[in-house]
Amino acid sequence: EVQLVESGGGLVQPGRSLKLSCAASGFTFSDYNMAWVRQAPKKGLEWVATISYDGSSTYYRDSVKGRFTISRDNAKSTLYLQMDSLRSEDTATYYCAVNWERWGQGVMVTVSS
Amino acid sequence: DVVLTQTPVSLLISLGGQASISCRSSQSLVHSNGNTYLHWYLQKPGQSPQLLIYQVSNRFSGIPDRFSGSGSGTDFTLKISRVEPEDLGVYYCLQRTHNPPTFGSGTKLEIK
């Protein structure tokens, strides 16, 4: 059974950093592209970043370019999202997704002073 | 960016009834490889989104045949027949033909 478990969320002040993790199991992690998608409270879904199966290619939405870094450790079957210079508008539940098919349960990130 | 316009914003359907949701794109979603990467998701209350339909009309693993997708180019439709209580939630379309991937704004399905 495919499982994706996000962690690392919490309350952080504007301008600070946070690193999210997504532990994957139940499939061959190194075979699949992975993505982060977020959802602000009571809002719709918004793609954040994608990484290719081998980590060689990464893509970001414009509003997070230069601030967020997506990465993966295929040996650990884990996806990461390093979030720097956080802003209030980054407040959201962050989901990891495999190949746009299966999603984790999400982790909440609140950026507030 | 590609804009996906979902209608209606909300639906109130009786148990056993049929629901239809439209997703219109600001540009064609046919990829240069001939595939159309338009997917449908359901987000049940308090849960993460689950994939229902991929590439316009293909039901994902375990999705009942009450769910069907159709369309081409810029106009797409999700139909839910014989609506059941567990179908309530917000339905989203997603396109990943063009970068960046974009979602529709969602359609909330409520059961009468």
What's the one-letter identity of residue B42? L
Q: Chain B residues with CB-CB distance to A under 8 A?
A: 39, 41, 43, 47-51, 54, 60, 92, 94, 96, 99-106
Q: How confident is the model at residue B112 (pLDDT cuts 50, 70, 90)?
A: confident
Q: What is the pLDDT of residues B14-26, one digit of tens each?
A: 999 999 999 999 9
Asked if A36 contacts A2 with a C-beta cutoff of 8 angstroms, the reply is: no
Q: Which residues pair with A110 in a beta bridge?
A: A11
Cβ within 8 Å, pair A101-B60: yes
d(CA A107, CA A7): 6
Asked if A8 contacts A20 with a C-beta cutoff of 8 angstroms, the reply is: yes
Tallying the residues shown for chain A, one arrives at 113
Q: Which of B42, B37, B58 lies closest to B107, judged by CA?
A: B42
Q: What is the pLDDT of residue A3?
A: 97
Q: What is the pLDDT of residue A22?
A: 98
pLDDT reading at B82 higher than 90: yes
A75/chain B closest Cα distance in angstroms: 26
Cβ within 8 Å, pair A50-B101: yes
Cβ within 8 Å, pair A61-B106: no
DSSP secondary structure code for residue A56 in this structure: S
Instruction: Give the residue-averaged pLDDT of A48-59.
Output: 97
Asked if A110 contacts A38 with a C-beta cutoff of 8 angstroms, the reply is: no
B60/chain A closest Cα distance in angstroms: 8
Instruction: Give the residue-averaged pLDDT of A17-28.
Output: 98
A8/chain B closest Cα distance in angstroms: 17
Q: Which residues contact A95 (CB under 8 A, 6 or more apart)?
A: A6, A36, A37, A38, A39, A103, A104, A105, A106, B48, B49
Q: What is the pLDDT of residues B19-47, one digit of tens each?
A: 999 999 999 999 999 999 999 999 999 99
